[in-house]
Amino acid sequence: MTIGFLATLYPWTKAIHIIAVIAWMAGLLYLPRLFVYHCETKPGTESSERFKVMERRLYKQIMLPAMLTTFAFGIMLALTPGLVDGDRGWFWVKIACVLGLAGAHGAMGKWRRDFLHDRNTKPQRYFRIANEVPTVLMAVAVIMVAVQPF
Ligand code: HEM
């Protein structure tokens, strides 16, 4: 199913999609770094409380609106005539990466709440590794849509 008038909006839909993707990725790549440094602080200290404010603002004021905008304009692009052939594998590999990124977003929400309530038990190393997951998913998603290899 496609929607004809979306074809006239295509350049703007794609531009807003890419802007939202960049903002969402910035948050997905930065928030785990804040968790790495937050691990170095003692619960209740001034710096621990400051990290909580930074994490909340990044998650609620940047990452959430950026994710919702990425999805909304991504779906508008998918409904634009001539862009997506459901028989081509690239689109489904991309969607799998997108769902993985949404899962990473959700996991970061839970970790943020753990820090907020001073009940984080995960070590710095855990968040350093977690930081790499969105990087790999983003790279595969962009290669799939830009190259459309299969
Ligand atoms: C529900 C989520 C998403 C959907 C349905 C979606 C769908 C699409 C579609 C249909 C296009 C147009 C392809 C074309 O012009 O031929 C597109 C472009 C693009 N998407 Fe997404 N996308 C989603 C999420 C994402 C995410 C999470 C990323 C990055 C991590 C991303 C990166 C891009 C890029 C870079 C382009 C421009 C490609 C180009 O100009 O060649 N998208 N997307």
Residues 6+ positions from 60 with CB-CB distance below 8 Å: none
Per-residue pLDDT of the chain (150 residues; tens, 9 = 90+): 788 899 999 999 999 999 999 999 999 999 999 999 999 999 999 999 999 999 999 999 999 999 999 999 999 999 999 999 889 999 999 999 999 999 999 999 999 999 999 999 999 999 999 999 999 999 999 999 999 999
Ligand 1 atom showing the smallest separation from residue 148 Cα? 16
Distance (Å, rounded) from C-alpha 124 to C-alpha 35? 7
Residue bearing the CA closest to ligand 1, atom 43: 74
Residue bearing the CA closest to ligand 1, atom 7: 74
Distance (Å, rounded) from C-alpha 123 to C-alpha 7? 48
Residue bearing the CA closest to ligand 1, atom 10: 78
Domains of the chain by residue range: 6-147
**Topology (CATH level 3) of domain 6-147:** Four Helix Bundle (Hemerythrin (Met), subunit A) (1.20.120)
Residue bearing the CA closest to ligand 1, atom 35: 142
- pLDDT for 3: 84
**Ligand 1 binding pocket mutation candidate from 13, 21, 73, 145 (most atoms within 8 A of CB):** 145
Asked if 13 and 76 count as a contact pair (C-beta separation under 8 A), the reply is yes
Q: Is the pTM of this model over 0.85?
A: yes
Distance (Å, rounded) from C-alpha 124 to C-alpha 22? 25
